[in-house]
Structures are given as structure tokens and as C-alpha cells.
């Protein structure tokens, strides 16, 4: 491997120390994260377990709610409504995926926008698109936090780098791809997005080979290979794909074929140990921010707007 590895675990440790201080400074308003899981999806179970452990370590209450996979929209919505009025809860996270019969958009619209720490409610998604976010979705936020931190570490001026760079986002999901596009726009980079249709028609390489920064959030293991990247690109792998090894154990791999890509690029994030650890901390950071906003800290604080600033 010739690429520099962008260490998400080290970044997350530094953020965690700051978060502990932030939790201690929230007075008079409860800081608690409620998670809602429907069914027993492997990735959701693992994510909830990580959040529960991290919340305990930083001093944030965690209220897990698990519903049977057969739960319908009424049961899920009723759970959301109870949490909206629960004063112990400052943040609500509905874990994906939801069962096919549950309208995801309806569930997200039911969340109190002030507790919507993943910015899935239309009000919060709109604020992000306008460049005035209440909350920045944790995974997209983590992508750019890692990028910004890495640029600082190698002595690159953030504004200059983004102004002259082309960012290509592979994947257009509401929780990662689209917010990442908005954050790239706010940095005044040239931004392009592609999805599975490009892969099926002209091929993603036609677009990704132009990227100075390639953000891959397609949910397809090994999608991006050496022929899809330019020399000296910076590759941020958001993919988390469970794979069963020859030993029968499940392990996570990204959307990038690291073995072929690493010799060509300047830097990349590993899976695991890249975007994921930062995402966990960022979600809890949003939970603290939500508690502060409920306490009258104002519609914008440093935590909510810093990712839209490059200087």
C-alpha cells in the first residue's frame, strides 16, 4: 500500500475527548439519544451496540427501542410520537433499513425537527441544502471532517484545495450522498454525483477518473477499482458491507477495492476504522447540540455550521 491511510479512529478519539467536555457543559436540559430499530438487521444491531457503548463512555443517556420486524407504520409512528414528548430525549435516531411495508419518509416526517439528529426530516434537509443547517447528518459530516483534518495535517489550505478540486460522490442516498453533495457545494468545490445507473450504462469510471476527491457511498462491495480512480486522488470509502469470510465469521468491507486502488491514490480511508468511528461520535455530538438548542442556544452554533466553513 502506497496511499496514506486517513485514520478515523484517531480522529474519533480526539472528538470524543471534546464531546465529554461538551456534555459536561450542558446544564438544565437532559441529553439523551433514543434509537428505534425495527427487526434485527445485522448492520443496525452492530451500530446500535456501538452507540450504546459510546454514549455510556461520554455520559449521554441511551434509550433503545426495538420493535418486531412485523411492526407496521402505526406502531413505529406511535413510538416516534412518544419520544417526541419525552423530556429525557434530546435526539431521535430511526435505524435503517425499515421493513418494506413501513413508509420511511412518513416516519421521518413524524420526528420532531428539534430532535432529528440525522437531519432526515424535510425541514432539516432543507436547511442543510440552503447552507443553514440545524444538524449536519453524521456520515456526510464525518466525511468532510476527515478530509478537513487530513488537509490540515499535510499543510494544505482548505479553501484553496476545495476551490481547485473536483469532488465526485458515488451514491445519492438521502442520508449520505445528497448531504455530501451539499457540503461540497458549500466549500465551493466542483461537485459531480453518479449512482448505480452510471455503473449500468456508461460506467462510473467515466466520471470518477476526474475526481480529486472521490467519496464512495454506493453500498456495493469492491465497486471502485484501480481503473476508476485518478493518480493522487483522495478516496473516502463510506461503504460498510458485511461479508462472510472463509472462517465463517462476518466482517466489514468497503465499496473500494483497496488492494488495487491504494497503489494509485494519495490517501484513503480504511474500512473498518475510517468514516465509521467519526460518524458514531458525530451523531452523539448532534445529540448534545440538540439539547443545547432546546435550552435556547440559538438556531446555529459552532457545531452546526463549522462544516460549511473552509477557513
| pLDDT for residue 296 | 67
Region 241-267: mean pLDDT is 92
| pLDDT for residue 187 | 96
Structural domain spans, the chain = 19-115+277-294, 137-275
Rounded distance between C-alpha atoms, residue 213 and residue 6, angstroms: 13
| pLDDT for residue 311 | 40
pLDDT 10s digits, 196-213: 777 777 789 999 999 999
| pLDDT for residue 300 | 47
Beta-sheet strand order (sheet of 213-216)? 4-5, 267-268, 234-237, 213-216, 166-170, 190-194
243 CB-near residues (< 8 Å, 6+ apart): 221, 250, 251, 252, 253
Question: Is residue 308 very low, low, confident or very high in pLDDT (cuts 50, 70, 90)?
Answer: low
Q: Looking at the predicted structure, is the pLDDT value of residue 304 above 60?
A: no
Region 243-263: mean pLDDT is 92
| pLDDT for residue 2 | 84
Question: Is residue 111 very low, low, confident or very high in pLDDT (cuts 50, 70, 90)?
Answer: very high
If we measure between CA atoms, which residue out of 146, 139, 135 comes closest to residue 112? 135
What distance lies between CA 294 and its chain's CA centroid?
A: 23
Handedness of CA 283, 288, 289, 290 (dihedral sign): positive
| Fold adopted by 19-115+277-294 | Rossmann fold (3.40.50)
Cell of 129: 441544502
| Fold adopted by 137-275 | Rossmann fold (3.40.50)
Handedness of CA 286, 292, 293, 298 (dihedral sign): negative
Rounded distance between C-alpha atoms, residue 163 and residue 282, angstroms: 26
Region 168-173: mean pLDDT is 96
Name residue 63's beta-bridge partners.
Answer: 34
Question: Residues 266, 3: contact at Cβ < 8 Å?
Answer: yes
Same fold, 19-115+277-294 and 137-275: yes
Task: Give the DSSP H/E element, type plus range, for residue 307.
Answer: none
Amino acid at each position: 500500500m502506497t496511499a496514506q491511510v486517513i485514520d478515523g479512529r484517531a480522529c474519533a478519539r480526539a472528538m470524543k475527548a471534546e464531546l465529554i467536555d461538551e456534555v459536561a457543559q450542558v446544564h438544565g436540559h437532559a441529553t439523551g439519544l433514543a434509537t428505534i430499530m425495527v427487526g434485527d438487521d445485522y448492520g443496525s444491531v452492530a451500530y446500535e451496540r456501538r452507540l450504546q457503548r459510546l454514549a455510556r463512555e461520554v455520559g449521554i443517556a441511551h434509550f433503545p427501542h426495538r420493535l418486531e420486524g412485523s411492526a407496521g407504520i402505526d406502531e413505529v409512528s406511535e413510538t416516534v410520537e412518544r419520544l417526541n414528548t419525552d423530556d429525557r430525549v434530546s435526539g431521535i435516531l430511526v435505524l435503517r433499513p425499515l421493513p418494506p411495508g413501513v413508509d420511511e419518509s412518513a416516519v421521518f416526517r413524524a420526528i420532531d425537527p428539534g430532535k432529528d439528529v440525522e437531519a432526515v426530516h424535510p425541514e432539516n434537509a432543507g436547511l442543510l441544502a440552503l447552507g443553514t443547517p440545524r444538524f449536519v447528518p453524521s456520515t456526510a459530516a464525518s466525511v468532510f471532517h476527515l478530509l478537513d483534518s487530513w488537509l490540515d495535517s499535510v499543510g494544505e489550505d482548505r479553501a484553496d484545495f476545495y476551490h481547485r478540486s473536483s469532488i465526485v460522490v458515488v451514491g445519492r442516498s438521502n442520508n449520505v450522498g445528497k448531504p455530501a453533495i451539499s457540503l461540497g457545494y458549500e466549500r465551493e468545490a466542483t461537485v459531480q454525483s453518479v449512482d448505480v445507473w452510471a455503473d449500468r450504462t456508461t460506467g462510473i469510471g467515466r466520471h470518477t477518473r476526474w475526481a480529486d476527491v472521490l467519496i464512495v457511498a454506493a453500498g456495493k462491495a469492491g465497486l471502485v477499482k484501480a481503473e476508476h480512480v485518478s493518480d493522487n486522488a483522495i478516496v473516502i470509502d463510506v461503504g460498510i458491507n458485511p461479508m462472510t469470510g472463509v472462517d465463517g465469521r462476518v466482517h466489514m468491507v468497503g465499496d473500494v477495492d483497496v488492494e488495487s486502488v491504494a497503489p494509485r491514490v494519495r490517501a484513503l480511508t480504511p474500512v473498518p476504522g475510517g468514516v465509521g468511528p467519526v460518524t458514531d461520535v458525530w451523531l452523539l455530538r448532534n445529540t448534545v447540540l440538540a439539547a443545547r438548542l432546546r435550552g435556547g442556544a440559538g438556531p446555529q452554533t459552532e457545531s452546526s455550521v463549522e462544516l460549511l466553513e473552509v477557513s
